[in-house]
Structure 1
Amino acid sequence: MPVATLMNQFSRFPNEQVLIVMALREESGGVLEQHGYQVHYSGLGMVNAAAKLTELALTLKPNRIINLGTAGSFTIEPGALVEVDGLVQRGNVISFIRQRKKLTTISDLPKVICGTADFVEVEKSANNLYQVMDMEALAFAQVSESFKIPFHSVKFITDSSDVNTLKDWKQNLVLAQTGFVNFCQTLNK
């Protein structure tokens, strides 16, 4: 059950109630909360992401939404923290639906296009329109856009999206948690 109000969490956005949303508690491991950040979790996948963020947007009425999460990549080494400046839907999607959604960025992190789908992609395609892959960001962005709330997404690359994805993801969670805390702290400088 979400708390009834949001805190002002970032000096970068002094008059805004910023909602931090992640898919899984394992991604933060409680470390963000230990540093005083209020985090909400949606569950895995696009449907869960859209449903939960819709509920949070209606009840908490945030002025800004920041998605922190883990991602795989065929081209970026695990351990990198990146900011998403574009989103596409991965998979067998009709080309006009697959158009890139552009995002406004808020950091000096390297910028990437994120492909979102409800599956782990383990084989690189020659026509990939994205550098990183997740399972929620596009759904979060769509909901944010429908409520006219600015949306930002930062991803920690945990794996190379191959046969070792789950093992690598688990091994890199502590690094991801540190990366997320460091990113949040930059928004308070």
Structure 2
Amino acid sequence: MSDGILVLTALDSELDVARAPAGFRVIFTGVGKINTTIATLQAIQIDKPKLVVNYGTAGKLNTKLNGLVEVSDVIQRDMNAEPLAPRGRTPYSPELDRLSSGRQGVICGTGDSFVTSTDPWLVDNSVDVVDMELFAIAQVCLRHGIPWRAFKFITDDANDFAHEHWTANVANGQDLFWDAMKGVKV
């Protein structure tokens, strides 16, 4: 039980656990919303954190972004239950349409696919970056009354070369992330 800050990231290639400051515990969730939901639930039940921080990599849709960005809001880019609800909305659960960290930042679209081309729906909904885990983390935190923050390191342009760029850049954001964590307190 840490009672401190829980850092959730998908893969050990994204973040070196040995660099975590005192009061921070790093858990690797695995890729995708289901793996992340399970890992997040287990971690918060054991650790009972005061704050959950997600760090991860992301593809960018907003061409002005580079480096490390903080996320203000997250949506599910792959929730599509039409005609029961418009794309991005969980039917009969409007509180899950858009989850907010309460911080200033970018809009993240989470889905269980690796984005390699422009999706007009994402552009129309002002999604800045795409990932595969954050919505799951934010939803578990919402359900358990735990505040969350998220930082994404831009690895690629979410295009035909995304997989090559992600592979080359997956570990390059951790210095920026740990620097951002220096001022974070619970």
Q: Could you say which TM-score interval applies, normalised by the shorter chain?
A: 0.7 to 0.9
1:81, distance to aligned residue in structure 2 (A): 1.1
1:77, distance to aligned residue in structure 2 (A): 5.6
Moved over 3 A (4+): 76-79
Task: Report the counterpart of residue 49 of structure 1 in structure 2.
Answer: 36
Q: Which runs of 5+ in 2 are unaligned?
A: 91-95
1:124, distance to aligned residue in structure 2 (A): 1.3
Q: Distance in 2 between the 1:17 and 1:92 partners?
A: 32
1:56-108 CA-to-partner distances (Å, cap 9, x unmatched) read: 11111111101011100122367421111111111251323272222212xxx
Task: Report the counterpart of residue 123 of structure 1 in structure 2.
Answer: 117
TM-score, normalisation: structure 1:
0.81
Matched, 1:19 2:11: no
Matched, 1:39 2:33: no
How many residue pairs match? The answer is: 169
Q: Distance in 2 between the 1:46 and 1:167 partners?
A: 23
Q: Which amino acid is the alignment partner of residue 173 of structure 2?
A: A
Counting aligned pairs with the same residue, the percent is 28
The alignment's C-alpha RMSD in Å is 2.0
Contact 1:85 1:112 in 2 (8 A): yes
Q: Which runs of 5+ in 1 are unaligned?
A: 7-15
Q: 1:160 to 1:69 in 2, by over 3 A?
A: same
Matched, 1:147 2:144: yes
Contact 2:99 2:139 in 1 (8 A): no
Task: Report the counterpart of residue 76 of structure 1 in structure 2.
Answer: 63
SS at match of 2:109: strand
TM-score, normalisation: structure 2:
0.82
